[in-house]
Structure 1
């Protein structure tokens, strides 16, 4: 393979770099996070032709490039997540922002949940969180962060907007519960019916869920998730301590005891 690189007049590292750029141009990006426009770099046309020939003859180069890219991205995500967890451990309130909260007003013990209303795993965790908060609502503050995975869940964004609109009338958590407990019914008609059942001002509800303010609020959460390396749901942390996606009530109870001992 060295001979092939020499014949083309390019180094192995340069080939791998260019291959990575080609893969990005072809759309090899994370399924839940879109590639930002304007970040791609131009690839020299002659080098591109040479790289394509190398790929045809040696597809293992592509695999190596993808592996390197994924490893680097994973390391970046882990670093960002560790920074976030340290920040949360030092100052739990700092991660709340303008997100909806329920439970303890003191906000000394904060449980953050990055979630998607159409995610089946999030619905399962929702049931666990309801049991946990029913017991510890005077001690724990639950924070909801929107992370709608729009590439796989067509109703994730509309549901997020509807919940935000309900929150403008003080009914976020009631709407939140209705969405998770009726995932098979998520639709425009269901959002309207739920708003009516909660005695919301329907005209205001419809205006709010279609507003730029709703989009901005949700995008703020999405951007925050990107910054700290969160790209899947559900993702939870209690005062800087991460929780598994398949979190059980016993796990939450044990972690709460640990946090209280600090």
Structure 2
């Protein structure tokens, strides 16, 4: 087999080859639902070829994986750079229809990617409240939904409920109630908060079950994923990024750096 030709094919179709190789390896070593997937069909002849290449030239596969990873890293860096530049030059485009509070000038914008069932997000929520109490005339806080549904089964439902509250002008009150009662997330709590905030329940239920709610949250999720965000909470303040249940001192430090960069 011509190795240079194989390298070219691996570079061209790296995504296909990587998934195929992984599937073959799983098939040969364990019973797995992913191994039963019919998304990638492998003929016995192709499987034999792949296994032989792995045995004889494992460096070819490694080079292909590395090339693919470099390509992905480059795309990620470009997406982040574009996002950060837009944060500075056109914050309205970043904010979009997301809930925002604080300074109307949008000179300093703090974007929060968060999950209502994440305990670290609940801790960060307390810090953000303290921070915004002091800097609400200087900083615009923007909330982006990033429910980690694989590990937090109520995160998406809570996000939809908060989106429905936003349609009646009560997002921030609803958001605060969700975080402060995080251990009670569920249908009973969603309705109880809506009643406490005097929301129109018919509209609330209709909105949170709507395609618009799903689409709005999905848009935030896609943005987070395009930026390579894998966990919550994650923050972007103008050109500065930080994550986790940060202390108030850290947020003050980032704000000072942002102000210094603006001269």
Tell me the residue number matched to 2:123. Answer: 124
Cα 1:149–1:140, aligned 2, differ >3 Å: closer, same or farther?
Answer: same
Q: Distance in 1 between matches of 2:141 and 2:68?
A: 35
Task: Tell me, yes or no, if the aligned pair for 1:235 and 1:243 is still in contact at 8 Å.
Answer: yes
Q: Distance in 2 between matches of 1:58 and 1:185?
A: 55
Cα 1:245–1:58, aligned 2, differ >3 Å: closer, same or farther?
Answer: farther
Tell me the residue number matched to 2:207. Answer: 208
Say yes or no: does 1:196 pair with 2:195. yes
Q: Where in structure 2 are there 5+ consecutive unaligned residues?
A: 24-38
Tell me the residue number matched to 2:74. Answer: 75
Tell me the residue number matched to 1:24. Answer: 19
* Cα deviations by residue, 1:183-238 (Å, 9 ceiling, x for unpaired): 22111121111112222121211111101111121122223333444343222111
Q: Where in structure 1 are there 5+ consecutive unaligned residues?
A: 28-39
Tell me the residue number matched to 2:143. Answer: 144
When normalised by structure 2's length, the TM-score is 0.79
Give 1 or 2: higher helix fraction: 2
Task: Tell me, yes or no, if the aligned pair for 2:106 and 2:140 is still in contact at 8 Å.
Answer: yes
Task: Tell me, yes or no, if the aligned pair for 2:7 and 2:60 is still in contact at 8 Å.
Answer: no
Tell me the residue number matched to 2:165. Answer: 166
Give SS of 2:199's match: coil
Give SS of 1:180's match: helix
Q: Higher mean Cα deviation, 81-90 or 15-24?
A: 15-24
Q: Distance in 1 between matches of 2:10 and 2:51?
A: 10
Give SS of 1:11's match: helix
TM superposition shift of 1:160:
0.7
TM superposition shift of 1:73:
2.4
Tell me the residue number matched to 1:11. Answer: 6
The 5-angstrom pairing of residues 1-262 of structure 1 reads 11-12=6-7, 14=9, 20-24=15-19, 46-55=45-54, 66=65, 68-261=67-260, 262=262
Give SS of 2:255's match: helix
| Bigger relative contact order, structure 1 or 2 (CA pairs below 8 A, ≥6 apart) | 1
Q: Distance in 2 between matches of 1:92 and 1:255?
A: 18
How large is the RMSD of aligned CA atoms in angstroms? Answer: 3.0
Cα 1:218–1:258, aligned 2, differ >3 Å: closer, same or farther?
Answer: same
